[in-house]
Chains A and B, each alone.
Chain A
Amino acid sequence: MTPQSTPRDELPNPWDPMLRFLRSAGFRFALLFAVVFSAAAAGFAFVLWFATAGSLDRQTDAALRTDALGLMERWREGGPGAVADAIAERLAADVENHAIYMLLDPQGRRVAGNLDRWPASVGQGPDGPWSFAFVAREGTSVEARIYAINLDDYRLIAGRDIEEKQRLRDTLAEGIAWSAIAASLFAFLGAAVLRRALANRLRPATRTAEAIAAGDLSRRVPSSGRADEFDRLGESMNTMLDRIDRLMEGVRGVSDSIAHDLRTPIARARAKLEEALADTSEPGALRAAIEQAIADLDHITRVFGALLRIAEAEAGARRAAFATLDLAAVLADVAEFYGAVAESRGQALETDLPERLDLVGDRELLAQAVGNLIDNALKFTPPGGRVLLSARILAREGVEVSVADSGPGLPLEDRARAGERFFRADASRGTPGSGLGLSLVRAVAHLHGGDLLLDDAEPGREPPGLRASLRLGTA
């Protein structure tokens, strides 16, 4: 195998930790922080610079313009002589020692001023009359701001030695540079702190998730007590884990039930077939045994189907099939469907339904759940008895569908267990049924954001009868 064909993840890439770091959300947040912080610092420095150094420059320029305007005034009043006098006068009174003047006559001779020659850069720059020039002062080169104008054929320079201001500017620039370094330092420090804080706050969630992934389902995300976003994340994770826990328990319950309620009929079918095999002398018996075995298998299939239905409802996978429906119509259909059965047994199935009952839900599962309740009620109601299917809108959002019968009712101690899979109250042992009916009803209720309630249909009466109420939320 050539090195090129080796899968990349087999070779430890030395850049991998680096890349992982760069891709981390913590790093990105930190980078964002650093960028924002630096941008703020840069903006601050820019304003500072504009307000100080820029202001100094503007002051110089304004003074030069005023100076030149004054000299032009003199020119109009008295010509070159007056200007030369004015220049000499101004130079003489220049205590700050920063004034620069020069007046050249048309022949290029110096008439007045304190420069020995015309600066080469003057009048060539892009700024028109404005320019910068280097001049020599006592052997040192200093920078000067120059404003050059023409007075008829004469040429005039008004300038300022800005070396002093330049030094101030340099000091300021140096200060800003140091602040920039300090700001970058703070930006990176802040970014690092932010990244660390983020990692620290996420660590409990990560640790818990890792422990769960490793198989320890009892772990939960500890709360920091700050009730912030991270605590909310932890709470959501815990809610999710609790739900998973309940599902796992459900699965364990199902496997226990399967072990009991599916193995028993399988064992029965198997025993019958084996018996028939050993006793092949009589063809009629053999045939009867095979038919019985097929019936047993069909029963197993039905239990299986019921279990799968419950699992379907409990997993919430069918929420995708939810649609707006008129529950009143669905209930009327179910009542009509089972009404024939009640009639054939001499029972009465009565309904008390509103005109319309709009609900978002799963028609198939709701029909099956209510069908199960009616079927149960009919099984426990003696001939001549009555079963009432009613529905009403609850005061707080939601709908209640009740099936009340005139049967023996259910003892209190059995009610809590009635929704468990394969639970059958002692009184019902003799009747047909898988013991899964109410489990399905309960699962359907949960799927629709509600619950199944069991109580006496008419308390005080003997027998009290049973009322099963399917409460549906608006989910």
Chain B
Amino acid sequence: MRILLVEDDAEVARFVRRGLQEAGHTVEHAANGRDGLFLAASEQFDMLVLDRMLPGGVDGVRLVETLRAQGNRTPVLFLSALSAVDERVKGLKAGGDDYLVKPFAFAELVARVEALARRPTVDAPATRLKIADLEMDLLSRTVTRGGKRIEIQPREFRLLEHLMRHAGQVVTRTMLLEKVWDYHFDPQTNVIDVHVSRLRQKVDRGFDKPLIHTVRNAGYMIRAEP
């Protein structure tokens, strides 16, 4: 993937750039909003990673607004030291697709970048999701594994759906908290782990091949291969 990183802090930029390159992406870097806007508008990128506050008169929000006004639909991930909910809302309203508060674990950034990249740009209304022998019917809201019906509660359904839509990708706990429960606060306890383990009980117990995997220091992943 070709990623444009617009970040004024040289140290953070170096760290992010190196990490994304190690994950197999090409990274262009701009140190201020004006250069970033110029690059984003003149070249083709698969994703923009933007600092929310940037020097040079064009901040992240302005940059995205300008791009969106020009019809540019490239996915945008905001990085920001501003954690207030209003700031997040402002960023997303301007046309950002995701919002990550600094400081962040690198695994979190990579997981979100991958999630954004694989997000279908045009939402083809899939009605069935399938991983190995695990099947999910989005219309009748039923889950079967190996043809056997699994009883699942609505919230567990949404949790599993999110994991399956990002099959093969790391989904972090924060991402689940935000996307499945729409909470943006620190739940103090390992609530997400408890929910995932409960889901795992239903989906993986009694089958020789587990599908839900824990990725150390990052989150969870659903995939067919062990």
CB atoms of A and B under 8 A apart anywhere in the complex?
Answer: yes
Q: Tell me the interface secondary structure of chain B in the complex.
A: loop
A337 near B86: Cβ-Cβ < 8 Å: no
| Partner of B181 from A317, A337, A341, A375 at Cβ < 8 Å | A337
B84 near A312: Cβ-Cβ < 8 Å: yes
Most chain A CB inside 10 Å of its own CB: which residue of B89, B155, B190, B191: B191
Bound Cα distance A115, B189 (Å): 120
B86 near A302: Cβ-Cβ < 8 Å: no
- Return chain A residues, CB-CB under 8 Å to B194: 340-341, 343-344
Which residue of B has the minimal Cβ distance to A440?
B185
- State whether A340 and B185 are in contact (beta carbons under 8 Å apart), knowing that A318-B85, A318-B86, A320-B86 are contacts in the complex: no
B187 near A375: Cβ-Cβ < 8 Å: yes
Task: Flag B71-114 by CB within 8 Å of A: 1 or 0 each.
Answer: 00000000000011110010000000000010101000000000
- State whether A309 and B195 are in contact (beta carbons under 8 Å apart), knowing that A297-B103, A321-B85 are contacts in the complex: no
B198 near A340: Cβ-Cβ < 8 Å: yes
Q: Chain B nearest CB: distance from A450 CB in Å?
A: 19
B103 near A301: Cβ-Cβ < 8 Å: yes
Let me know if B183 is at the binding interface, CB within 8 A.
Answer: yes
Stretch at the interface among A60-68, A237-245, A350-358, A363-371: A363-371
Number of A-B contacts (CB under 8 A): 63
Bound Cα distance A321, B89 (Å): 10
| B residues 47-66 touching A (CB-CB < 8 Å) | none
Let me know if A308 is at the binding interface, CB within 8 A.
Answer: yes
- State whether A317 and B185 are in contact (beta carbons under 8 Å apart), knowing that A297-B103, A336-B155, A340-B195 are contacts in the complex: no
Bound Cα distance A375, B185 (Å): 13
- Return chain B residues, CB-CB under 8 Å to A217: none
- Return chain A residues, CB-CB under 8 Å to B105: 298
| Partner of A333 from B101, B181, B190 at Cβ < 8 Å | B181
Q: Chain A nearest CB: distance from B89 CB in Å?
A: 8
Q: How many residues of A contact B (CB 8 A)?
A: 30
Chain B contact patch, size range: 20 to 34
Which residue of B has the minimal Cβ distance to A379?
B189
| Partner of B191 from A302, A341, A368, A437 at Cβ < 8 Å | A341
Let me know if A306 is at the binding interface, CB within 8 A.
Answer: yes
- Return chain B residues, CB-CB under 8 Å to A26: none
Q: Chain A nearest CB: distance from B85 CB in Å?
A: 6
Let me know if A398 is at the binding interface, CB within 8 A.
Answer: no
Bound Cα distance A338, B197 (Å): 14
Which residue of A has the minimal Cβ distance to B198?
A340
A368 near B185: Cβ-Cβ < 8 Å: yes
Q: Can you list 20 A-B pairs, Cβ within 8 angstroms, ordered by A?
A: A298-B105, A305-B83, A308-B84, A317-B86, A318-B86, A336-B155, A338-B187, A340-B191, A340-B194, A340-B198, A341-B189, A343-B194, A343-B198, A344-B197, A364-B185, A367-B183, A367-B185, A371-B185, A372-B188, A437-B188
Known interface pairs A341-B190, A343-B198, A367-B185; 20 further A-B residue pairs with C-beta atoms within 8 A, sorted by A's residue number: A297-B103, A302-B186, A305-B83, A312-B85, A317-B86, A321-B85, A333-B181, A337-B181, A337-B187, A337-B191, A338-B191, A340-B191, A341-B189, A343-B194, A368-B183, A371-B185, A372-B188, A375-B187, A375-B189, A437-B188
* A residues whose Cβ falls under 8 Å from a Cβ of B: 297-298, 301-302, 305-306, 308-309, 312, 317-318, 320-321, 333, 336-338, 340-341, 343-344, 364, 367-368, 371-372, 375, 378, 433, 437
